[in-house]
């Protein structure tokens, strides 16, 4: 299915895979790209060498375009920003801030830039800096979240900017893709569903958590420290919530309590100390499939629902 997004990126289906830290590596990114979506490698807090290696590995696994997600608060952001330009990756998505200062160098390298935004003001700011599209991510998503929901955020961002808008947060099947189109988006970004893709190298325990989750299984913690994240409820998140509510518990210790918890979930499958980030649609994710099977299923449902619909997307 062709939309403004597929034309911009030169891909078959308007689906971008979320840049999930500790999870989105060359294996998942290449699988999504081979299936006609846009796979993304997460640069998370990694250094330049790891990112370069992953990009090169991904190139051996797919000849389709793929991207790198750059977390702007990473201590290695400057060097990683250079690596993606040197490697001339097709697409960069960014999270946790305003990437304006990198736009010139990335455009010179021919990179398509798509920041994740959680408000209209940030969308306008990055549009002015010269980015190609934005991903408007609502708080239904897993990981770092803003307050606005996808339903409220996407149409307001669509009205605020003139560049293509991709919807994210709460999207996991064809119905939600069509809903995103109705809100004015021309594509979607999905993370949670791809967590259980066969090519996803996340720990088996993480996949089990997602497969077992129901609609009310996720919660948001970390508001007190100014970086709220959505994760599947576990003894870890419950304990975090308790400490967070205890005003006598110092911020520094709370910060310490969170360190390494995502790695423990994603890599070690540690169900006691891990933080299993996932979005609210985890309850809809009930089976492991290949990335290609997921995308085909989603697009078949999307196209069926779009029959006779004359929106321009």
The site for other proteins (CB under 8 A) is made up of 97-98, 100-101, 118-119, 121-122, 124-125, 129, 146, 226
Contact (CB, 8 A) for 65 and 89: no
Contact (CB, 8 A) for 14 and 3: yes
Its sign, for the CA torsion 207, 209, 211, 217, is negative
CB of 274 to other proteins, least distance (A): 26
Location of structure tokens 């961002």? 157
User: Toward other proteins, which CB reaches closer, 100 or 239?
Assistant: 100
How is residue 256 written in tokens?
A: 């310490």
CB of 115 to other proteins, least distance (A): 12
Distance CA 312, CA 4 (A): 9
User: Toward other proteins, which CB reaches closer, 54 or 127?
Assistant: 127
Distance CA 187, CA 13 (A): 8
CB of 85 to other proteins, least distance (A): 17
User: Toward other proteins, which CB reaches closer, 168 or 285?
Assistant: 168
DSSP assignment of 140-152: TSSEE--SS-HHH
User: Toward other proteins, which CB reaches closer, 254 or 305?
Assistant: 254
CB of 223 to other proteins, least distance (A): 10
CB of 214 to other proteins, least distance (A): 30
230 three-state secondary structure: strand
User: Toward other proteins, which CB reaches closer, 125 or 151?
Assistant: 125
């Amino acid at each position: 299915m062709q939309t403004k997004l597929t034309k911009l990126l030169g891909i078959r289906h308007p689906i971008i895979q979320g840049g999930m830290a500790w999870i989105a590596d060359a294996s998942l990114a290449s699988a999504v790209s081979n299936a006609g979506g846009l796979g993304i490698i997460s640069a998370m807090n990694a250094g330049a060498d790891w990112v370069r290696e992953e990009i090169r590995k991904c190139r051996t696994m797919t000849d389709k375009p793929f991207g790198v997600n750059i977390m702007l608060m990473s201590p290695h952001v400057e060097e990683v920003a250079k690596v993606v330009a040197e490697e001339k990756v097709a697409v960069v998505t960014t999270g946790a801030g305003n990437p304006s200062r990198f736009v010139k160098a990335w455009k010179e390298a021919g990179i398509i830039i798509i920041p994740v935004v959680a408000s209209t003001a940030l969308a306008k700011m990055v549009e002015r800096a010269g980015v190609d599209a934005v991903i408007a991510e609502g708080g239904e998503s897993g990981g770092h979240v803003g307050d606005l929901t996808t339903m409220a955020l996407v149409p307001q961002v669509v009205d605020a900017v003139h560049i293509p808008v991709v919807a994210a947060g709460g999207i996991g099947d064809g119905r939600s893709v069509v809903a995103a189109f109705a809100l004015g988006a021309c594509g979607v970004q999905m993370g949670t569903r791809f967590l259980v893709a066969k090519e996803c190298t996340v720990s088996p325990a993480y996949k089990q958590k997602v497969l077992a989750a129901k609609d009310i299984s996720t919660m948001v913690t970390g508001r007190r420290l100014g970086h709220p994240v959505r994760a599947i409820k576990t003894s870890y998140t419950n304990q975090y919530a308790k400490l967070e509510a205890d005003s006598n518990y110092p911020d520094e210790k709370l910060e310490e309590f969170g360190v390494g918890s995502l790695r423990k979930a994603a890599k070690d499958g540690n169900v006691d100390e891990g933080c299993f980030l996932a979005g609210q649609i985890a309850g809809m994710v009930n089976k492991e499939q290949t990335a290609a099977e997921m995308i085909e299923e989603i697009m078949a449902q999307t196209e069926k629902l779009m029959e006779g619909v004359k929106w321009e997307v």
